Every structure is written in C-alpha cells, then in structure tokens.
Amino acid sequence: MKEFKFYGICENCYKLGDTVWEAIEDPSDGYRSYLQSIEYKNDHHHLTFFPDPIATVVVHAENNDDFRGYELVDVEDGHIWLEVGTSNYDNYYPCFRFVYHPKPPKPSWEGFIQED
C-alpha cells in the first residue's frame, strides 16, 4: 500500500504529500447529504496546514452498513486520523462525514520522571 505524509486538515480539505484534496458534500441532497466526490484542490493557498507532516498514513477504503468512504490510517500505530465519506449509507438518513481524530498531546512531563 502506498504511504503518504499527512499534514492535517483545513475546512473540508486535507493534505497528503504535496497534494491538497477537498471532500465535496452533495449539494442537491439537502438534509440527507452524501459525499459527492473528493477532488484535487488547485487553489489552496488560503488554507493552513502543518508545515511538517504530523504522520505517515495509508488510505483504506471502507464499505460497511454504517460507513462508506475512506480512512487515513497511521502506519506506525493504526490511529485513524481522518474519516471521509457517507455515514448511514444504507439508512433513511445518510449524512456526509468528515471527521478528524487528532492524537492527544503527550504530557509535557513525559520522559522527565526517573524511576527508582
């Protein structure tokens, strides 16, 4: 599987390597919105991402009763950084899903406590 450097998200966009992608919600669906598409974003200079990658990820396609879309999964520990797609796909009320899961910060004291 191809690995990508992940630079975080801004609005409904995410950056993998040098490429910025935008998740587009289907505008004609109204309240019950599906993911319409994921498109290359050429004009992204107004968006802010981390200057250095925060993770190396692989993209997993998911297709089950609850979610149809993609997950960005950390190659080091399996952490899911981002879910993008449609929730409740086979249900009466499907909805657009763009969920970012940042890792919690490590305590600042970690590494400073000495064990006796």
CB 103 within 8 A of CB 80: no
pLDDT in tens, 6-17: 999 999 999 999
pLDDT confidence bin for 79, thresholds 50/70/90: very high
Query: What local confidence, expressed as pLDDT, does residue 28 receive?
Result: 74
Token pair in block for residue 93: 């009320």
DSSP state of 102: P
pLDDT in tens, 18-74: 999 999 988 776 666 788 889 999 888 899 999 999 999 999 999 987 889 999 999
Mapping DSSP onto H, E and C, the string for 1-45 reads CCCEEEEEEECCEEEECCEEEEEEECHHHCCCCCEEEEEECCCCC
